Chains A and B, each alone.
Chain A
């Protein structure tokens, strides 16, 4: 069982916006502004898309945005595109260790 809780799946149509949530505790998500998000395609290594809750690495589309409220972090993808279909994982620092969510499968209808 993963330390952080994510919904197993989410879906949306092209052009829509979707939000993936990631729930932890005050010992991880709620205690540090060190939440990151990763996109993974089948058979490929994950790719960093958000770090430090809200920051986007160079080259990542501004359609991806992150936020946090209390013990829950969120990833929002706006203007959904077919290429966004894949698995998304949240991650948080938890004081001398790092924990991941179980992953959310995004389907673009």
Chain B
């Protein structure tokens, strides 16, 4: 059974870069797409982007200028970098498997950007 686990700093200063890694266990990155989704406290879900095991992918147009995703098949991990963060980027960040439907999900990691 595939499981995902997010890791990274829980606090990022304004204007700095948010960096998260998702470790996939119980299966390989294989031929799947892998995505990042975030949820600000008390709010809804927002798709950030997806990446294929080969490294190609798509990003949310509203975040595209600040987002970079990458894959490390040797470590069975994929990563998210979000630059120039502000308080509006405070959210629980989930890593998930999928491109247009998502399963399974990681437990999520809260990243706070103080205002």
Q: Interface on A for B, CB 8 Å cutoff?
A: 2, 32, 34, 36, 38, 45-48, 51-52, 57, 89, 91-93, 96-103
Contacts and interface: CB of A to CB of B under 8 A. Distances in A.
Contact of B101 (A2, A34, A103): A34
Contacts of A100: 44-47
B32 interface: no
**B interface: dominant SS:** loop
B44 A102 contact: yes
Interface of B: 35, 44-47, 50, 58-61, 94, 99-103, 105-108
A99 B35 CA distance: 13
Contacts of B60: 97
Given A97-B47, A100-B47, A91 B103 contact: no
17 contacts: A34-B101, A45-B107, A46-B105, A47-B105, A48-B103, A51-B101, A51-B103, A89-B45, A91-B45, A91-B47, A91-B102, A93-B99, A97-B58, A97-B60, A100-B44, A100-B46, A103-B44
Contacts, number: 57
Contacts of B44: 2, 89, 100-103
Nearest to B105: A45
Contacts of A2: 44
Contacts of A57: 103
A57 B98 CA distance: 14
Q: Is the interface of A mostly helix, strand, loop or mixed?
A: strand
B105 A34 contact: no
A99 B47 contact: yes
Nearest to A103: B44
Contact of A97 (B61, B94, B102): B61
B101 A52 contact: yes
A45 B100 contact: no
